[in-house]
Amino acid sequence: MSEGAKSERPSFEEALERLEEIAGLLDSGGMSLDDSLELFGEAIGLVRVSREILDDAEGRIEELMELHDEVVERIDLELE
C-alpha cells in the first residue's frame, strides 16, 4: 500500500463512526435502491479497512507479548 493510500485510510474510529451512520441511513428505508447499493459498497470497503487495522493491531500485540515473554525469561534466568 502506498503512502498516499495509507494517509487516505480512515482511522478505526472514523470507519466505525461512518459504518454506524451508513447503517442508520440504510435502516431508515427512505433511499433509492441505487443509493442503498452505493452506501452498501462503501460499508463493505470500510469493513475491509477496519479488518486490516484490527489485523495490524493484533500483529503488534503478538510482537509485544513475545517481547514480554523474552524479558520475563531473561529475568527468571538472572534470578536463578
Report the CATH number at residue 23: 1.10.287
Length of the chain, in residues: 80
* Structural domain range at position 14: 3-79
Q: What is the pTM of this model?
A: 0.73
d(CA 45, CA 42): 5
Q: How many CA atoms lie within 13 A of 49 on its CB side?
A: 22
Sign of CA pseudo-dihedral 43, 49, 51, 54: negative
Task: Going residue by residue through the chain, which has 80 residues, state the pLDDT in tens, using 9 for 90 and above.
Answer: 444 445 689 999 999 999 999 999 999 989 999 999 999 999 999 999 999 999 999 999 999 999 888 887 778 777 76
* Number of domains present in the structure of the chain: 1
d(CA 69, CA 74): 9
